[in-house]
Amino acid sequence: MILQGHTGPISRAQFSLDGEHIVTASSDHTARVWASADGRLVATLQGHTDDVVGAQFSPDGQRIVTAGSDNTARVWNAADGRLLATLQGHSGSVQIAEFSPDGQRVVTASADQTVRVWQVLTLDDISRILAK
């Protein structure tokens, strides 16, 4: 099976924990969710204004977090592609965005040499760690 639909290079592909879906991140400013059984496109995550460099499912598979070169991370509904939150505060490209094992927090790492931890339910930036 070949997953086709992005119009730019793909920087990341990951299975959901249950193996039912795949999320891909691309320089076409989108991430896409695919059914892993047949390659059907489930949702297109549109909202970033620059390359999407990372994407990860939450542990329960209900949400996706994306990392963007537009200095943001975004949290999405995995089922329908609806934007749930934009995590803003970095002054450089967000290189990595990942959920904590319990799915309650997101950690982001940026080219601005900081790491931030976000409380997903409140969207608060609960800590900022400066990398040296």
Q: How far apart are CA 121 and CA 36, in angstroms?
A: 28
Order of strands, sheet of 114-119, starting from the edge strand that comes earlier in the sequence: 94-99, 105-110, 114-119, 124-130
Q: What is the pLDDT of residue 107?
A: 95
**Rounded to two decimals, what is the model's pTM?**
0.91
**pLDDT 10s per residue in the chain (132 long)?**
788 888 899 999 999 999 999 999 999 999 999 999 999 999 999 999 999 999 999 999 999 999 999 999 999 999 999 999 999 999 999 999 999 999 999 999 999 999 999 988 765 555 565 554
Domains of the chain: 10-130 (2.130.10.10)
pLDDT of 40 reads: 95
